[in-house]
Structure 1
C-alpha cells in the first residue's frame, strides 16, 4: 500500500531553503529601511553667503547683487539686538583716538541706509577670518538720524538688500564731501577808492641837461621762493586714519599704514573727539595721496619716540600751527 503523501513530513532540505529565502527578504527590507533613514537623517549642507563677493563690482560679482541704486535695510545677526554703525571698518583697536566706543551709533533692525562704498578690514568675532568686507553707509531719510555715516559689517546687510558699490577711495570720499568753494573776492569799498588828482599846469620848457653816459648796473637776480617747510613723522603700530575735516572727524580718507613716514605741513587744534585728547592736535598730511587735504590725529604718530617708549609723546611741538 502506497503511503499518503499529504501525511508525509516535508524533507529537511526544503525547509532550510524556505527559511533562508525568508531571512534574505527580511534582511533586504531592513537594509532598505536603514538606508532610507540614513538618507533622510543626513544633514543638508547650506552654503553661506560669500561676503567677500557681496556688493563687489567686477567680472564676477555675487549673482544675487544686481541693483545699482536705491536704499538698503540692515538686519541684526541676533534677533532683538540693534545694528551698530561704527566710525572704523573693524572692531580693533577700539577705545583709541580713531575708533572711540562713544562714537558708535546703534540703529534698530530694518533701518534704511544708503550704501556708498566698500573696504576690506577684519571680520568680527564669530565670522570667518577671510570674510572681511565692510560697507560705508549713510542713514536714509526717514531713519532715526538721517545723514549719519559710518561702517556696517557686510553680513548685517542681506544680499537681497545690497547694491553694487565702488571701493572706498579718496575720490569717492570727495564725491561724498566735496571741498567748500573758495569765498568770492570782496567788493571794493567806495570810501577807500582813490579820487583822481586834478591835472597839473603845463610847465615851461627847460633846456635839456646833457649827462655823461653811465655804466649799466647789472640786474640783481630774484632769489628763488623757498619750498614749503614740512616735518617728517612716522605713524604708529596701528597706522593713522585720515579725515577731510579734523573737527568732528568727518569725511574719512585713506588710512596711513603702520610705521609709514609722511611729510606733515602743520598742526590744527580740534579736541572735539575724546580720543584726540589730552592735547587735541591733528597733523595736516602733505604727502600724496593726501596732498594737504586730509588730517590725522597727532597722537597716532611716534612723534620722535622709539618703540616701547613711555610715556608716549602725543604731539611733536616742532610742527608749526596751521
Structure 2
C-alpha cells in the first residue's frame, strides 16, 4: 500500500466512529463521483449505494434479500462461484453454458430458452471470471430487454472492471437503463484498487432496492469495518499513479502465459480481461477433481472448469504473479501436457 493509504488507515485506527450501517458517507460520495465521471451514471450517494465486505458479501446479501424459496435463477456459465449464494437464498440456479468456439460469449438464445414461469432473476459476471470474456454493450442490452420482458431482476458482479486489457471496453449494466429497481450491481474495491486483503466493496441499485438489501446487511454484520473504509476512501480519492503501474503489467503477464501455452498447442481463448486463462486440458485425459489432483502432483495449482459450471476438462490458471512466475507456470503446464502426449504416442 502507498503511504497515503497507510496513513489513512493508521489515523482511523485511533478514532471512534458512530455506526454507519450503509457505509461511510465520504466513501459513498467518492464512489458516486467516480461512477459519474467515468461512466456517466448519476448516483445518489446516500440512497443508491451500500458498502459491503467485498463483492461476494454484496452479492450474497442481495440474493438473500430479493429472492424467495423455489425461485429459479438463470446463470450464464462458466462463471464465478454464485451457486452456494443462490442456494443459501433458497433459489435454484439454471446454468446456460457458453463455448470456446464463440470466445465464451453470452449464449443469448440459451438464456432466453432457460427462462420459465418460475424464473425471477439472471446473474451475470461482467467481466467474466474464469474466462476473461467481456460482454458487449449490445449483449448486455439484450439481457436487460429479456429481464424487462419477463419482470426479472438482473444481478451483475462487476469486480474486474479495471482489468480489461483490450476492447470491447467494460460496460456497467446500470449505465444501460432497464428497470432500475431490478438492476443490482456488486463491485469489489478490493480487486479494482489492488488491496484485496481489506475486503471491501459495494452494492449499487435504486433506493427502494438498496433499502431491502441494507436490511439484510444489518442482520449479517451491522456495519462494515471503519478502518478498511478509511483506507478505501484514500485509495479512491488519492494519487492513482501506483495503480497505473500495477495494472499496466497485467496484459503483459497474460500475453506471456498465453504464448507459452499456444506454443505447446494447448487450446485457450485469449482473455480480454481479468487475471486468469481458461485452458482446455482435454489432452491430459482427466476431468474435474481428478484433473486438479493430477496437476497439483505436477506442481500446478488450478481449478477445474466444472467448479465454474463449465467444461470439467478445462482449468482456470492465474497470471497475477510476477512475470517470471507466470512464465514458469505456463511452462510447467506445457511440460505436463507434452509428457502425457509423448506417453500416449508410445502405446
Q: Which has the higher contact order (CA 8 A, sep 6+)?
A: 2
- Between structures 1 and 2, the one with greater helix share: 2
Task: Calculate the TM-score normalised by the size of structure 2.
Answer: 0.26
Task: Calculate the TM-score normalised by the size of structure 1.
Answer: 0.28
